[in-house]
Amino acid sequence: MQPRVAIPLTLSAPRRTPGRGPLLRLGGTTMGTTWSVQCIAAAGLEQPLHRAIAAELDRVVAQMSPWEPRSDISRFNCGAIGEWQTLPAEFAKVIDCALRVAQETDGAYDPCMGALVDLWGFGPSARRMSPPAREAIEQALDHSGWRHLAFDPQQARLRRTAAAQLDLCGIAKGFAVDQVMAALRRHGVDHALVEIGGELAGCGVKPDRTPWWVAIDRPAGERIATAPLLVALHGLAIATSGCERGFADAGRVYSHTIDPATGAPIDNAMVSASVLHLSCIKADAYATALMVLGPEAGLAFAARHNLAAALLFKSGGSLAEKLSPALQAMLD
């Protein structure tokens, strides 16, 4: 089956045309996953670029990883309720975006689900293979949610009004992709593809002047009637939220995506949501929100907000796909 091809409706010329030399390929590990960069760079930039990328990734981990007991987010979660805490600049930028998307999606994306993520075994605590007690879920739900946060953007400070726990894992990888791309641009790189754990951003073109083509994720081994979908990441980012980190118990599969309305994993037939956006941080947050909203409400939200999105969900024993109008327009 021939793949479908999605091309951005607006194409901008890079500041410099690419040379014909080989691609510089860099990579490593971060945030419990891998990162990679392919770019066209001047001779002698390999080590400076690797150091710059590592510094950006280490900064995100040091500020936003709940697995690091000395991170800024861990200190915030252990801080006194009602007490203002000053945030590093990057952390404040992520919180500002997270709260805007939480309000825009009416909490379908919620950066304050840490207690429930942990309770279900998807956080720093030990993994579990069976659901927690309903009473424990209700107790955690009572003091979870973004409305328990107060943010002062002018002074870059944040406080909680309840024992809510921040969890930025649904947005931090996307932010890290943006930070790495910004670091490349500061070093004069105009043509690059950045990937962290399946979240990607591209600028410019490859040495042969073709786009950075990426395939929208599909679960392996699942039947689906539509052809694969390739996207030209030219000045675009893509993030996909899925169900790959769940667990099965008593014949049911529990997704790692928590529905903020119920405090339990989503149960709406969603398999994955992929979002294209100018920034990977927003693509990441919106993809999580669409997973929670489900096929119908998610597609309606994407249409209202002009999001280019692909939703995969179970229907009649196989996978079905819905594309938002903005993504469909990239195919036409």
Annotated binding site: 170, 284, 288
Please, what is the average pLDDT of the chain? 93
Gap between the Cα atoms of 285 and 266, Å rounded: 16
Global confidence as pTM: 0.94
- Structure tokens, 174: 């996307």
| pLDDT average, residue stretch 81-106 | 98
Q: 56 and 64 in contact (C-beta within 8 Å)?
A: no
The domain defined by 4-44+189-331 carries CATH number 3.10.520.10: yes
Annotated binding site for Mg(2+): 170, 284, 288
Q: What is the pLDDT of residue 8?
A: 87
What pLDDT, in 10s, does the model give residues 9-45? 876 655 566 655 578 999 999 999 999 999 999 888 9
DSSP 8: -
**For residue 304, which phi and psi values (nearest 5 degrees)?**
-65, -35
Q: What is the CA radius of gyration of the chain?
A: 20
What pLDDT, in 10s, does the model give residues 318-327? 899 999 999 9
> What separation in angstroms does the CA of 175 have from each of 170, 191, 327?
10, 19, 22
Segments making up each domain of the chain, as ranges: 4-44+189-331
Q: What is the pLDDT of residue 224?
A: 82
What pLDDT, in 10s, does the model give residues 258-308? 999 999 999 999 999 999 999 999 999 999 999 999 999 999 999 999 999
Q: What is the pLDDT of residue 14?
A: 57
Distance of CA 73 to the CA centre of its chain: 17
